[in-house]
């Protein structure tokens, strides 16, 4: 056993050394170029999609990423379905991974929401899985590095032909005649449209589940007039507390959206800068750091959604306690 462990360590050590040597050679062949960074997602083409109520919608480079995320989730579901159809008593591969994932988060939901776990769990699981895949898919090769070249009026890069219509950016910059790269794929979590949409779904469904659990009494935590005339002072305090509850519900939208967007966009900028300044071996460690950040952010987003929904099913104030 000890000999096998030493042999494995020796093999792993040579693999790590081989990656270091490969990165050094690659850096000398193709010097990394610091990409053009902007907060808003870029347009892949000037063409737009006309929608009846929304109007003209541009084709952004987060759209292909969102489609890829959907394809991966559908592929996971198909893999689990195929495993179930085979009648495997012991799940393996993708099926075993998904079973462990579902079991863990369902137990979390049941411990927090009790009898309402079956209503809350689908939202918790779906949001967490979508955010997790969206955060991790950006670590795939080619993300934010392959796209279309565009003239840039400011300080852009020189380009070099690779053959045909393929070009690569050079580190050298020129004023007014250079190029910038618009990637085909950009992390969808760095698009505020995506994070705000998820935040709205989370907050709106929290209210829906609250109404299902408590009926019209649920709105008493926002507008509480029950003690306004019997005990004016405490009634006025309850009214102010209701206003704070209303404000907090709207604040959840901003909190959800900007927490996920801020963390993932900061990771995008960090990866770009580190890869350009210290390209030898260090970006791989930053990628591992980004992996854990994406995992944690997906768990936090989903967990907060589940906790808020569980709280919405519980009564508010002394009236519910008496009941």
- pLDDT, residue 201, reads 94
| Chain position carrying tokens 């770009």 | 272
Is 256 within the bounds of a domain?
Answer: yes
Helix (H) or strand (E) holding 232: helix 232-277
- pLDDT, residue 305, reads 92
Is 51 within the bounds of a domain?
Answer: no
User: Averaged in consecutive runs of 10 residues, what is the pLDDT profile of the chain (323 residues)?
Assistant: 48 69 64 73 82 81 92 90 75 79 90 88 93 90 81 78 78 77 88 92 92 83 69 70 84 90 85 71 74 90 91 64 39
- pLDDT, residue 70, reads 93
- pLDDT, residue 322, reads 38
Is 70 within the bounds of a domain?
Answer: yes
- pLDDT, residue 199, reads 93
Domain that holds residue 299: 61-144+188-323
Is 8 within the bounds of a domain?
Answer: no
Asked whether residue 109 falls in the same domain as residue 166, the answer is no
- pLDDT, residue 290, reads 84
Is 71 within the bounds of a domain?
Answer: yes
Q: Is 51 helix (H, G, I), strand (E, B) or coil?
A: strand
- pLDDT, residue 72, reads 93
Asked whether residue 161 falls in the same domain as residue 293, the answer is no
* Domain total of the chain: 2
- The structure tokens listed for 318 are 């002394």
Q: What's the pTM?
A: 0.81
Asked whether residue 104 falls in the same domain as residue 223, the answer is yes
Asked whether residue 192 falls in the same domain as residue 177, the answer is no
Asked whether residue 243 falls in the same domain as residue 163, the answer is no
* Nearest residue to 275 (alpha-carbon basis) of 132, 131, 137, 143: 143
Is 313 within the bounds of a domain?
Answer: yes
Asked whether residue 170 falls in the same domain as residue 299, the answer is no
CA distance 103 to 119: 16
Per-residue buried b or exposed e for 279-318, using 16+ beta carbons within 10 Å of the residue's own CB: beeebeebeeebeebbeebbebbbbbbbbbbbebbebbee
Is 175 within the bounds of a domain?
Answer: yes
CA distance 230 to 221: 18
- pLDDT, residue 6, reads 47
Asked whether residue 136 falls in the same domain as residue 258, the answer is yes
Asked whether residue 163 falls in the same domain as residue 305, the answer is no
Asked whether residue 176 falls in the same domain as residue 221, the answer is no
Asked whether residue 160 falls in the same domain as residue 238, the answer is no
Asked whether residue 164 falls in the same domain as residue 175, the answer is yes
CA distance 68 to 281: 28
CA distance 148 to 315: 55
- pLDDT, residue 121, reads 92
Residue 159 near residue 170 (C-beta atoms within 8 A): yes
């Amino acid at each position: 056993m000890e000999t096998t462990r030493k042999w494995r360590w020796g093999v792993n050590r040579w693999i790590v050394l081989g990656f270091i040597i490969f990165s050094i050679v690659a850096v000398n062949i193709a010097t990394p170029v610091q990409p053009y960074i902007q907060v808003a997602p870029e347009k892949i083409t000037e063409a737009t999609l006309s929608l009846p109520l929304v109007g003209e919608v541009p084709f952004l480079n987060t759209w292909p990423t969102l489609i890829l995320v959907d394809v991966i989730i559908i592929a996971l579901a198909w893999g689990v379905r195929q495993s179930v159809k085979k009648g495997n008593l012991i799940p393996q591969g993708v099926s075993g991974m998904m079973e462990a994932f579902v079991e863990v988060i369902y137990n979390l939901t049941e411990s927090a929401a009790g009898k309402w776990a079956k209503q809350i769990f689908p939202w918790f699981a779906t949001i967490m899985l979508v955010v997790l895949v969206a955060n991790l898919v950006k670590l795939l090769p080619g993300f934010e590095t392959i796209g279309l070249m565009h003239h840039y009026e400011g300080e852009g890069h020189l380009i070099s032909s690779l053959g045909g219509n393929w070009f690569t950016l050079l580190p050298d910059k020129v004023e007014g005649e250079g190029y910038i790269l618009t990637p085909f794929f950009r992390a969808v979590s760095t698009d505020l449209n995506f994070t705000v949409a998820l935040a709205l779904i989370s907050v709106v469904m929290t209210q829906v589940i609250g109404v299902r659990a408590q009926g019209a009494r649920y709105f008493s935590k926002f507008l509480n007039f029950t003690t306004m005339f019997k005990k004016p002072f405490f009634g006025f305090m309850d009214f102010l507390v209701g206003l704070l509850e209303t404000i907090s519900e709207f604040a959840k939208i901003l909190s959800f959206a900007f927490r996920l967007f801020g963390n993932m966009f900061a990771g995008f900028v960090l990866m770009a800068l580190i890869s350009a300044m210290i390209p030898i071996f260090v970006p791989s460690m930053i990628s591992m750091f980004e992996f854990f950040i994406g995992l944690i952010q997906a768990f936090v987003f989903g967990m907060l959604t589940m906790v808020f929904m569980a709280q919405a099913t519980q009564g508010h104030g002394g009236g519910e306690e008496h009941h």
